[in-house]
Structure 1
Amino acid sequence: MLQSPVEFFRNMPEKICPECGECIEDQAESYLLECDRCLSKRYE
């Protein structure tokens, strides 16, 4: 049986930053793998 799209996205695990382990607050159009804090450190 197929799962509804709403249930699929509701059951997805949280995205975790591989650098610091912090949970990333995703935007719908975002494909970032690191949190904003780690990204800003990289480009200082």
Structure 2
Amino acid sequence: MMDLEFYRNIPKKECSQCGCEIQEQHESYLYECERCMGIHEE
């Protein structure tokens, strides 16, 4: 159970440009959100 608690307490990854939470896949190495990378217009 201790291992599970460790993973639950890992902070969410934030965009290095705007600070928004990054929705990532399990092996993602992105440091910018899709909006800052220009993938999606919002």
Q: Does 1:32 align with 2:30?
A: yes
Runs (4+) of structure 1 exceeding 6 A deviation are: none
Aligned positions, number: 39
1-structure distance, mates of 2:2, 2:13: 21
- Whichever residue aligns with residue 38 of structure 1, its letter is C
TM (normalized to structure 2)? 0.70
Equivalent position of 1:22 in the other structure: 20
Residue identity over aligned pairs, in percent, reads 49
Bigger radius of gyration, 1 or 2? 1
Unaligned runs of 5+ in 2: none
Unaligned runs of 5+ in 1: none
CA RMSD of aligned residues (A): 1.9
Alpha-carbon displacement from aligned partner over 1:1-44 (angstroms, at most 9, x marks no partner):
xx733221110011111111111112101111110111127xxx
